[in-house]
Amino acid sequence: MSGLVVVGVDGSPGAGAALEFALSDAARRDARLRVVAAVAPPEFWATAYGPIPLPASPELLEEIVAAAQAWVDEAATRLGLAVPADVAVEIRTAAGSPAPALLDAARDADLLVVGHRGRGAVASTLLGSVGLRCVLHARCPVTVVRPAPAPGPELDPVTAMAVPAAAGGG
């Protein structure tokens, strides 16, 4: 396998769509897939030099790796792909904010894939902060993937009829 596709995951619908796109693209390119889950440190320790973030616990990191592996397995099943037969997958966790973690993981990548959250009609026209930072600072091409719209209730067709006014204007 040659090449590397990097994708960020967090369990959101946008990240799920990005993961499916990245899995498909990695299989098409015969490339490896690096799945990155960023973990915000849960607490800070106050010192005379200012707050210092405490590292994430090993148990938390193990849970995040297990969740990411489950997301990869579900996406591969939906796409009809086998991991690692069709795509070699590496899962990484990184402490801190997602954008720097993704940019670091994609330093040697051929493609970085991020999801779009889509928070409504107005907000979804704007790119999120993680996606924007990746687009502006990545050393490789970046693909931002929108989740598929959720199916809504079927609406009955409405028939409009014009009813003529009574003769004589009354």
DSSP state of 56: P
> Which secondary-structure segment (H or E) carries 34?
strand 32-39
What pTM value is reported for the model?
Answer: 0.77
The model's pLDDT over 89-136, given as tens digits with 9 standing for 90+, comes to: 999 998 788 999 999 999 999 999 999 875 544 444 455 788 889 999
- According to DSSP, residue 83 is labeled T
CATH code, 4-145: 3.40.50.620
pLDDT of 6 higher than 90? yes
The Cα 17–Cα 86 span in angstroms is 19
Strand partners, 95: 39
Q: 16 exposed, middle or buried (CB, 10 Å; 0-12, 13-18, 19+)?
A: buried
Sorted by where each begins, the domain ranges of the chain are: 4-145
Q: Which tokens in the block code for residue 26?
A: 């990695």
